[in-house]
Amino acid sequence: MAEKLQTISEILHFISDMLARMWPREEAEAMAASVIREYTGIDRARQLAFGSLEVESNTAGKIMSAALRAYKGEPLQYIFGYTEFCGHRISVEPGVLIPRPETEEMTSLIIKENPGFSGTVTDLCTGSGCIAIALSLAFPGATVYATDNSAKALWVAARNVSSSGASVQLSASDVITQVPSTMPQSNIIVSNPPYVTEKEKKTMHMNVLDHEPHEALFVPDADPLLYYRSIVTISDAVLAGNGCIWLEINESYADETAGLFRHDIYRSVKVIEDIRGKPRFVKAEKYG
């Protein structure tokens, strides 16, 4: 490849054509541009404007190696070892769920609605720690807790907390078996738990099914609200008066998830659409 494909334009077209066998053309082109940017530092606009620039043989080899891994279905975030979340670099690797744009959107809404927040936040099912880290950095006066039942996730989250400079207290716990009274009283609770049903696997791309941790994604078809029931029970017990809980949800079970909140405990329960118009979040406010 290094001898035949020397310019950015040649490499971009070659990789785009290769990836287009597996993804829609527009997505393939965006992926190809991301791979080139990762190893050259040249963004997509400059790739198009200066396509005649030649790439060193060693760099071209790294680009091709990464592109081949992507062609085989490995997510770019695992190939690169990181993703961007709310303006922060978050390390990810196999065994830890890759943060989604919807999760970033929910986190941004929380930040926007709570300027100057200095209370306590608890992030349940934290995974890579992305939500907790973003909230800690946005709310430097807050106390932030984060939990997960995966040792691998907590190890990666701890690394992310350290590298980001955030202040997050991590602990191992499973929301399904967690005794609510052992959780800290919190002014904000947030969670993106597993919510994809097993039957939805057939609609998902192989780069998710073959590489990301199923335990962080899927719930049984017969019990799609498995995690939400436990999370709401925890919230009933430890969410402070006038506090809010935010949940990322399965769009197919929006009303059912919202229905878990008792109206004698919560004064407001809302289903909120994401940027694509899908019911993606539930926000509940507790009575004071």
> If you classify domain 96-286 with CATH, what class do you get?
alpha beta
- Residue 1 has a pLDDT of 40
> pLDDT by residue (tens digit) across 199-215?
998 888 777 888 889 99
Name the CA radius of gyration of the chain, rounded.
Answer: 21
Extents of the domains making up the chain: 8-72, 96-286
Q: Is the dihedral of CA 280, 23, 205, 90 positive or negative?
A: negative
CA 188 and chain centroid, separation: 19
State the average pLDDT over residues 265-269.
Answer: 98
Whole-number Å distance between alpha carbons of 146 and 235: 14
- Beta-strand relationship, 279-286 and 266-273: antiparallel
Residues 129, 91: contact at Cβ < 8 Å? no
Terminal alpha carbon distance of the chain: 65
- Beta-strand relationship, 82-85 and 88-91: antiparallel
State the average pLDDT over residues 101-110.
Answer: 98
Name the pTM for this structure: 0.94
Residues 103, 130: contact at Cβ < 8 Å? yes
For helices 130-138 and 101-113, give the axis angle rounded to 10 degrees.
30
Confidence of residue 3 (pLDDT cuts 50, 70, 90): very low
